[in-house]
Each structure stands twice: as C-alpha cells, then as structure tokens.
Amino acid sequence: EAQVTQNPRYLITVTGKKLTVTCSQNMNHEYMSWYRQDPGLGLRQIYYSMNVEVTDKGDVPEGYKVSRKEKRNFPLILESPSPNQTSLYFCASNRWGVQYFGPGTRLTVT
C-alpha cells in the first residue's frame, strides 16, 4: 500500500531534550516536506526537500533541522525543543503537485 508513515504519533517531552520525528514514504517520490498545523494559523511549511541531499527552508524553519540522506526518509529534528513547538506535525511526499500526507505527530513540549 502506498503510504507515508510517521513516528511517533504522539510525543510528550521536556524543553531542551533533543528529539527526532521520522518520516518514510514508499512511493519513490523525490519531493518531501514537513508542515506544522496550529489552531488559527493553519498548515505552515517548515522544510522541504526536492531530492536526496537537497533541502530548503519553508515558512517557519526556526528551531528545526532536516536531513535527506536517502529518498524514502525525511526526518525532522528538534535539537532543543521549546513549548512554542507544541503542535501537530505532518510529513508529506509529492508527485505532480499532489501531496500525500502522513497521519501526523502530535508533539507536546512542557
């Protein structure tokens, strides 16, 4: 089944403790991206990657890092999480404009 998977689905952590949210797609898409969704602000892009080893900032990249060492994986790294990064995160892969979203990761930073 074609899909985008994210792990973990839920995470509660403390300020400053490094974490990684994994994202993997099995559709051989070159293009992948990360979004965060917040009430009243909608869905905002964090980072995107047009291919392996090619990443670029989206609208809200501060406090986040990404890497794209292989086509199928696009992890999101929070080196020192802060409470304002509490949000619902989505990974997506893209082919011909259609974005396929993962199920989301609900992150709470206390």
Partner 1 sequence: SQELEQSPQSLIVQEGKNLTINCTSSKTLYGLYWYKQKYGEGLIFLMMLQKGGEEKSHEKITAKLDEKKQQSSLHITASQPSHAGIYLCGADAVGSGNTPLVFGKGTRLSVIA
Q: Is 90 in the site for partner 1 (CB under 8 A)?
A: yes
Coil, helix or strand at residue 64:
coil
Give the 3-state secondary structure of 10-56.
EEEECCCCCEEEEEEECCCCCEEEEEEEECCCEEEEEEEEEECCEEE
Residue listed under structure tokens 């206390």? 110
Q: Is 61 in the site for partner 1 (CB under 8 A)?
A: no
Beta bridge partners of 95: 98
Quote the least distance from Cβ 43 to partner 1, whole Å.
4
Q: Which of 8, 16, 83, 103 binds partner 1 (CB under 8 A)?
A: 103
Nearest Cα residue to 15 out of 86, 77, 75: 86
Quote the least distance from Cβ 44 to partner 1, whole Å.
8
Q: Is 77 in the site for partner 1 (CB under 8 A)?
A: no
Q: Which of 11, 52, 77, 88 binds partner 1 (CB under 8 A)?
A: 88
Binding-site size, partner 1 (CB under 8 A): 28
For partner 1, give the closer residue by CB, 18 or 65. Answer: 65
Q: Is 7 in the site for partner 1 (CB under 8 A)?
A: no
